Every structure is written in C-alpha cells, then in structure tokens.
C-alpha cells in the first residue's frame, strides 16, 4: 500500500536531508508541495481544486516564518492542514428543523451511493434525539428498493411509508397525510438513485422539491468517488440547490477527498458521514478530522471521543491508580475488554492513530478480536476469587476453567502468564506514566 | 458492432470533457514540458492516478525521443498505443459448465451486473442459474429475483442471514442435476477491509473449488466507474482473498471516465472484461481495449 503512505512520512523523507540546515529554501518548498499535491490527488481531491489549493499554500509557506522554522515538516503540514480545514468549512451544522412540522429531508444521489441505508441511519439518529421520524419510499425503479427501505426501517425502529411503485409525487402526498394523522414530525424521503445527466429523472426530483419544499436536500455521495465527484455535485446543486452533503462508506482506508472537492466547487458542506454497516454508524462531520484523514494523518480526536464515551472520568482514574499500584486483577482486565468492545473494533481504532494506519496498513488485526473473545471466555469461567487472586489457580482449577470456556489448558496458561508479565510491567511503570492495555 | 455504438453513447460525455482536452492537446505546436504536464493532468482528471499517468507520459517522452518525433500530431498514435498496451490482455475462451463468482464493495452494481450477465449468456442460448449468496444486505435476494425473472432463469436463494456458502453449495448441486451451462454467484457487498466478510468470500471460493471442479471457474470484481484511487486498494485486497480474473466496470454511462481501470490494468495486472453502460438488461458489453482507448484519445 505504498501509494497511500501518509503525507507526514513523505515530507519527512524530503526534509530529512536538510535537518542540519533547519531552514527551508523555496526550492524545497516546491518539492514539498509536489508531495502535497500527490497526496491530495491520491485522496481523489479534484485536480483543479488541488491546483488552486497548492497555489494558496505555497504563497503562505514561502513566508519568512517557515524558512526559519526548526521543524519544517511540522510547519508545512500545519499550514496545509489549516488551509484544508478552512476549505472544508467551519464547524459542524446540525440538520435544520421546519417552523411548522413536518420537517422534510429529501435524499438524492447516484445509484449505489448508499441513500437507502443512510435514510435508516438518519432516522435512528433523529429518533434518539427525541424526534418522531418516518421514512418515505420513493425509489420506485430499482428492484426491491422499497423492501430494502422497509428492512432498514425495521432495523432502525422507524416507520416506513410506502405506496408501491406509483408516481413519487403521489407517494409523498400520501406520506404527508399519514404524517399528519400519526404525528410524525420528520419525513425522510428516499429517492431513486439517478445519474446527474438523466434529465427525466432529474425533473422528477425537481418536481418533488417544488411540491415538498423540503427543509433539507441532502446529496448522498460515496466517499470513494473519484474526480467525477465535482461534476455530480455541481449538477445536483445546480438543479436542486442542495443544502448539504452526506458522505457514505467512510470506514476503512478511504481518504474521502471528494468532500473537499464538493465543498470547494459547490460551497455546500458535508453534514454527516456514514462509517459502517450498522444503523448506529453515523457521525457528524468534522472538517479538522477530515483534513487529517485526507492527508493520511489519522483521526486522534474521534479516537479520544470514543474512549471518553466508553470510560467515565472516575473509571479512568481508578484504572490509572490500579495500574500504578499494580493491584490490577483479572476482574479489571475483563472490564477493560468490555470497554474495548464499546470503543469499536481494534482495526478501526488503529486506523485513527496517526502514523500507525500507514505502518500497519491492511495487516490482519481482526484475529486479535477473536483472541479478545477467547480471553473473555476464559476469565468468565473463573470464580470471583480466582479472578482477584490468579495465583491460586493450579492445575485442577486450570482444567475446570479450560473445560468451562472451551479452550485448551495451554490457552489458560498463556493468559495467566501474559497477565503476570503485564502486572510486572505495571510495577516497573510506577513512575506514573500511563500504560497501555496488558495484551 | 454493438460495443462501439453503446460505448460511444456511454463515453459521449467523456468525449465532451476529457477527450476534448486530449484532442486539443495533440493538435498543439510542440512536444514541450507544458504539453507533457498538461497531458499528465488530463489523465489524472480522468482518475488514471498519479503513478500510471506519469508512467504513460514518461513512456511517451521516451518513445518520441527515440523516434525523433517533434510534433504532437505524430505522437498521438504512439500515445494510444502506450495506453492500449497497459490495458490489453488475452482472455481465455469460456468453457462450459462455467461458474462466475461476482464480488465487489457495496453499491458498485453487483446485482445489476449479474442480471445483465444472465441476459448475456441466455441470449447466447446458454442455460443460467443465479445463486443469491448476498444474504447480508436487506432485500438483496429479492432484487436478484427480479433480474432472474427478467431473463427467465432459475435462482437459488435462502432466507436473509443464511450462510452464503450453503446457498452456493445448493446452487452447484442444482446446476449439476440439471446440467446448467452457467452459474452466476452474487455475493454480499463488503467493504474490502472487513476481515470476516472477506473470510466468508474465501469460504464461498473453497466451496466452488471443492464441489464444482469440472466447471470453468472465474471470479470477477465489479468496480464503479466513478470510483477514484480507492479502486486500486479494492482490487488489491480482494486479490488477497481470492484470485481475481477480471473486472466488470459499471456505471460508465455517467460523466465518469473510468480512467482508474487503466491504473488497475497497469499496476495490478487484472483485465477489464465487461462494461456496464446503461440500465437495461442488454447494457453490458464485452470490453474492447482498442475502442476504449480510441474514445479516450480521439
């Protein structure tokens, strides 16, 4: 995966030669900008956008401060990062609410961009925030699309209004009646995926828009879209005057340069992004984090937030104290494993750590998740006394634990040994520095 | 025939933007640095990617130098040649019974591509069975059933959430019993970095190899023409799980240029076999390298 190395690594490579000089010449800045350009293009940022961006950054970077800076790599990355954030738009804006209900959210986009799934995710998110949403099935073309929306609605726990394959305008009229009757305050309208150059279908969307007067018109874009993203967004924006963008499939190693292109060309910012297959996998869009992502620098903030969601402050303090005093027991260990699960998969967390994602790349990480499950099973097969005092576990207890958790005795031995050595490690770390998880 | 008309229609937009630029470039005055730089940018704007674009441009420089060519006009054929060399492959003929596994990430148009493949084979007089091994996405089997109905072919499906390998197992048994010519396997769209979903794909692969050794077995990956550089990593990761014999490039009827397939053919050595250029069941055409490039470099 050499092509997707982080920008930081590449810049370091350039600047490593001039460490002793400590200042940058214009030529070196130019070389650096070439790397930035490649990084952006490889993240699928539109090439015209890249061109303008590079021009703007070069102007800033050639300034006095950078040339005298002692850490040119950081300095250049900082400028690039700041400019990216500025380009991606300020802070996250929530979905607007209509003065008079129902609030109508019209979803549009190309085929396969993930509209139907996103309808469900938005629905569930709004429901959690106390709204009473319903999904409206207006994709009357794709085989089984209505059925798919119904299944999605079931998973999200949000009602679906459908009328079969009749004209979308009739469906939405019906939906408004249903909403009034049942007190739904938000309608999320799923439409058929269409090519932006398909005039007949685009007219259908325009018709829906002028009838519904939606509060939000959201363009759903696959984050893997290439250079064409701008054409698509421009056309949809021109015809419908969209109010925002949702990026889907942003899990994994997708850089999502499309977000930058779209914002630069249409001025409409990304509001939410879909990050996984489950209904809860939707996140508000944060420009700063996206910038890091585009540059291949990871997403530490999201990681920290996820950790914060899983741990309360007291829990974290208690954990730290236990680690320091080395009074950490298997019971604590088990609790840690559960927290880890709450934070998401190991693989997805590693992707967020700067530098690590490019180093580890696509190496096998999921195996460890299987190992975690196994470890949990072993600990759960122990009595509370055994968990708090693992030294008492001798051979007959080991046999029982192994049988109880369906593993071999060697596995139990391995876990105990590992636990012992991590406790040793904690003892050595008593200086108060925070340690990692003991496995 | 066929191919040209359709792909010309599909590539019409391409011609308007991207190819027009290339066309004008080659009408320019001199083969100077500006020319080469603009050519590289034009390729990148078609999703060809930085690496392959610069490789193609360097190669052009080299050949023009050797042949002492100075005018862009004369360089055009050489450039077409270079691109064509990057994507042209010898494809072995199909033998029957044939089994095609179709994989790819979510939303690229796998199910639709299979529907069209079914039509492609039935119109050649072959009997076809579809295996609905996408038991993951809501209503995927139903969507495939609609396609089966359109081409009047059999479909083997289980309930949602069932073991996809079991679906494939049943489908193979059915093909053997009824001496069906072609088995097309639809699989769940999986993000290429989801380990367990990839494992599932490997399992399907193993079942086919074990249960259907007499079949000519191919596995194809479906790519969306609008996908950018991420398509490269899609192919790479899928290649780790199963052997990929070819690419089906879908959604070439938009404004996207599908340039990323040049990068994939060049860097990953996987050929393009079919292109999807519309929504109808006959809108899947065998790929023709010469004509594809002919449309890009007019």
B-chain CB neighbours of A229 within 8 Å are 226, 228
Is residue A289 situated within a structural domain?
yes
- The residue range of the domain holding A363 is 304-428
Asked if the C-beta of A261 comes within 8 angstroms of chain B's C-beta atoms, the answer is: no
Three-state secondary-structure class, residue B105: coil
> A209 and A144, same structural domain?
yes
Place of tokens 């139990």: A412
> A240 and A191, same structural domain?
yes
Structure token digits, residue A283: 């996140």
Average pLDDT along chain A: 79
Three-state secondary-structure class, residue A159: coil
A16: domain CATH number is 1.20.120.140
A311 pLDDT band (50/70/90 cuts)? low
> A291 and A311, same structural domain?
no
* Residue that terminates a domain, selected from A295, A322, A344: A295
Q: Is B145 exposed, middle or buried (0-12, 13-18, 19+ CB in 10 A)?
A: middle
Directed axis angle between helix A145-156 and helix A115-128, to 10°?
A: 20
Instruction: Report the pLDDT value the prediction gives residue A86, as an integer from 0 to 100.
Output: 84
pLDDT digits (tens, 9 = 90+) for B93-103: 999 999 999 99
Asked if the C-beta of B13 comes within 8 angstroms of chain A's C-beta atoms, the answer is: yes
Mutation to test the A interface, candidates B135, B143, B226, most A Cβ within 10 Å = B226
List alpha helices for A312-394, DSSP H.
313-325, 330-343, 346-350, 356-360, 366-380, 384-388
* Residue that terminates a domain, selected from A295, A328, A360: A295
Indicate yes or no: CB of A253 within 8 angstroms of CB of B193. yes
Is residue A95 situated within a structural domain?
no
- Chain A, residues 201-260, CB within 8 A of chain B, namely 222, 224-229, 231-232, 249, 251-255, 257-258
Asked if the C-beta of B28 comes within 8 angstroms of chain A's C-beta atoms, the answer is: no
How far off is chain B from A419, nearest CA to CA, in Å?
A: 27
Asked if the C-beta of B196 comes within 8 angstroms of chain A's C-beta atoms, the answer is: yes
- List residues bridging with B184 in a β-sheet: B100, B130
A140: domain CATH number is 3.40.50.300
DSSP codes, A62-80: TSHHHHH-S-HHHHHHHHH
Is residue A67 situated within a structural domain?
yes
Is residue A438 situated within a structural domain?
no
> A284 and A141, same structural domain?
yes
Directed axis angle between helix A26-42 and helix A7-16, to 10°?
A: 160
> A196 and A311, same structural domain?
no
Indicate yes or no: CB of B251 within 8 angstroms of CB of A110. yes
Helices (H) and strands (E) in chain A, counts: 21, 8
A65 pLDDT band (50/70/90 cuts)? low
**Residue A339, phi then psi, degrees to nearest 5:** -60, -45
Instruction: Report the pLDDT value the prediction gives residue A158, as an integer from 0 to 100.
Output: 96
Structure token digits, residue A308: 């914060």
Q: Are strands B246-250 and B216-224 parallel, antiparallel or unpaired?
A: parallel
- List residues bridging with B155 in a β-sheet: B130
> A107 and A45, same structural domain?
no
What's the ipTM?
0.74
A412/A12: higher pLDDT: A412
Is residue A33 situated within a structural domain?
yes
Is residue A236 situated within a structural domain?
yes
Cross-chain CB nearest to A195 (options B146, B254, B259): B254
Asked if the C-beta of A194 comes within 8 angstroms of chain B's C-beta atoms, the answer is: no
Q: Is the dihedral of CA A89, A93, A99, A101 positive or negative?
A: positive
Instruction: Report the pLDDT value the prediction gives residue A119, as an integer from 0 to 100.
Output: 96
> A79 and A115, same structural domain?
no
A322: domain CATH number is 1.10.260.30
Q: Are strands A244-248 and B98-103 parallel, antiparallel or unpaired?
A: unpaired
Instruction: Read off the pLDDT of each residue in A113-126 and give the average, rounded to a whole number.
Output: 94
What secondary structure letter does DSSP report for B255? S
pLDDT digits (tens, 9 = 90+) for A362-401: 444 444 667 778 888 888 889 888 888 888 888 889 889 9
Angle at the Cα of B264 (from B82 to B92), degrees rounded to 5?
A: 85
- Counting residues of chain A whose pLDDT is more than 90, the rounded percentage is 27
CB contacts < 8 A, A to B, total 151
Our count of domains for chain A comes to 3
Cross-chain CB nearest to A111 (options B44, B251, B256): B251
Is residue A324 situated within a structural domain?
yes
CA-nearest of A93, A92, A113, A88 to A295 is A88
A432 pLDDT band (50/70/90 cuts)? very low
> A244 and A381, same structural domain?
no
Asked if the C-beta of A358 comes within 8 angstroms of chain B's C-beta atoms, the answer is: no
What secondary structure letter does DSSP report for B227? B
How far off is chain A from B67, nearest CA to CA, in Å?
A: 31
Structure token digits, residue B31: 């083969």
Q: Is A31 exposed, middle or buried (0-12, 13-18, 19+ CB in 10 A)?
A: middle
B129/A46: higher pLDDT: B129
Structure token digits, residue A58: 């070069």
Cross-chain CB nearest to A143 (options B13, B146, B237): B146
Range among A332-341, B62-71, B116-125, B231-240 with highest mean pLDDT value: B116-125
Is residue A398 situated within a structural domain?
yes
> A356 and A288, same structural domain?
no
Compute the distance between CA of residue A217 and CA of residue A188 in angstroms, rounded to an integer.
Answer: 10
What secondary structure letter does DSSP report for B19? I
Structure token digits, residue A315: 């829990």
Enter the pTM of the model. 0.72
> How is the beta sheet containing A186-191 ordered, strand by strand?
A160-161, A133-138, A186-191, A103-109, A216-222, A244-248, A270-274, A282-284
- Answer yes or no: are the C-beta atoms of A149 and A160 closer than 8 Å: yes
CB within 8 A of B292, min separation 6: which ones?
B7, B87, B272, B275
* Residue that terminates a domain, selected from A267, A295, A323: A295
Range among A154-158, B47-51, B294-298 with highest mean pLDDT value: A154-158
Asked if the C-beta of A373 comes within 8 angstroms of chain B's C-beta atoms, the answer is: no
> A260 and A176, same structural domain?
yes
Asked if the C-beta of B255 comes within 8 angstroms of chain A's C-beta atoms, the answer is: yes
Mutation to test the B interface, candidates A44, A144, A350, most B Cβ within 10 Å = A144
> A266 and A133, same structural domain?
yes
> A167 and A276, same structural domain?
yes
């Amino acid at each position: 995966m050499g092509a997707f190395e982080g920008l930081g690594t590449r810049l370091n490579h350039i600047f490593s030669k001039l460490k002793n000089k400590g200042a940058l010449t214009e030529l070196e800045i130019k070389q650096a900008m070439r790397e930035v350009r490649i990084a952006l293009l490889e993240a699928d940022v539109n090439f015209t956008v890249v061109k303008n961006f590079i021009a703007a950054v070069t102007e800033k970077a050639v300034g006095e401060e950078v040339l005298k800076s002692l850490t040119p790599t950081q300095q250049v990355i900082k400028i690039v990062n700041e400019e990216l954030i500025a380009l991606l738009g300020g802070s996250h804006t929530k979905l607007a609410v209509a003065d008079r209900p129902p609030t109508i959210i019209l979803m549009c986009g190309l085929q396969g961009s993930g509209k139907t799934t996103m309808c469900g995710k938005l629905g569930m998110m709004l429901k959690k925030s106390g709204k009473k949403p319903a999904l409206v099935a207006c994709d009357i073309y794709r085989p089984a699309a209505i059925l798919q929306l119904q299944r999605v609605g079931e998973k999200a726990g949000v009602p679906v209004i459908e009328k079969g394959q009749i004209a979308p305008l009739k469906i939405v009229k019906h939906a408004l009646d249903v909403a009034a009757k049942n007190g739904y305050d938000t309608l999320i309208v799923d439409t058929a995926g269409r090519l932006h150059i398909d005039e007949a279908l685009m007219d259908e969307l325009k018709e829906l828009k002028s009838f519904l007067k939606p509060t939000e018109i959201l363009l759903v874009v696959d984050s893997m879209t290439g250079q064409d993203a701008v054409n698509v967004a421009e056309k949809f924006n021109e015809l419908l005057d969209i109010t925002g963008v949702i990026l889907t499939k942003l899990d994994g190693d997708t850089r999502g340069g499309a977000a930058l292109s779209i914002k630069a060309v249409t001025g409409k910012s990304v509001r939410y992004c879909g990050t996984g297959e489950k209904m809860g996998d939707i996140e508000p869009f944060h420009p700063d984090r996206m910038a890091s992502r585009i540059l291949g620098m990871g997403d530490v903030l999201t990681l920290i937030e996820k950790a914060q969601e899983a741990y309360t402050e007291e829990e974290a303090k208690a954990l730290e104290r236990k680690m320091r005093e080395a009074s950490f027991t298997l019971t604590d260990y088990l609790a840690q494993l559960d927290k880890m699960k709450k934070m998401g998969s190991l693989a997805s967390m590693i992707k967020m750590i700067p530098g690590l994602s490019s180093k580890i790349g696509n190496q096998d990480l999921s195996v460890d998740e299987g190992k975690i499950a196994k470890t949990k099973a072993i600990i759960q097969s122990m009595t509370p006394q055994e968990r708090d005092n693992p030294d008492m576990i001798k051979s007959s207890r080991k046999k029982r634990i192994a049988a109880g958790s369906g593993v071999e005795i060697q596995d139990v031995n391995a876990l105990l040994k590992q636990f012992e050595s991590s406790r040793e490690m904690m003892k050595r770390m008593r200086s108060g520095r925070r340690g990692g998880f003991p496995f | 025939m066929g191919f040209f008309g359709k792909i010309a229609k599909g590539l019409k937009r391409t011609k308007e933007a991207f190819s027009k630029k290339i066309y004008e470039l080659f009408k320019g005055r001199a083969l100077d640095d500006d020319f080469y730089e603009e050519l590289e940018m034009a390729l990148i704007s078609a999703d060809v990617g930085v690496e392959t674009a610069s490789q193609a441009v360097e190669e052009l420089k080299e050949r023009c130098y050797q042949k002492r060519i100075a005018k862009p006009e004369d360089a055009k054929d050489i450039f077409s040649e270079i691109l064509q060399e990057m994507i042209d492959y010898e494809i072995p003929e199909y033998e029957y019974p044939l089994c095609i596994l179709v994989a790819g990430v979510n939303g690229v148009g796998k199910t639709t591509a299979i529907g069209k493949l079914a039509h492609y084979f039935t119109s050649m007089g072959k009997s076809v069975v579809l295996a609905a091994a996408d038991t993951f996405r809501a209503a995927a089997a139903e969507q495939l059933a609609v396609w089966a109905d359109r081409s009047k072919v059999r479909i083997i499906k289980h309930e949602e959430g069932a073991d996809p390998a079991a679906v494939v197992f049943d489908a193979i048994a059915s093909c053997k019993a009824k001496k069906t010519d072609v088995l097309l396997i639809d699989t769940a769209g999986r993000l290429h970095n989801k380990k367990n979903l990839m494992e599932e794909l490997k399992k399907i692969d193993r079942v086919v190899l074990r249960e259907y050794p007499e079949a000519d077995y191919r596995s194809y990956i479906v790519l969306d023409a609008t996908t950018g550089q991420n398509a490269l990593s899609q192919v790479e990761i899928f290649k780790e799980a199963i052997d990929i014999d070819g690419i089906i490039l879908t959604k070439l009827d938009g404004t996207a240029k599908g340039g990323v397939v040049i990068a994939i053919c060049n860097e990953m050595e996987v050929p393009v076999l079919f292109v999807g250029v519309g929504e109808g069941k006959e809108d899947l055409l065998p790929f023709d390298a010469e004509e594809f490039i002919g449309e890009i470099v007019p």
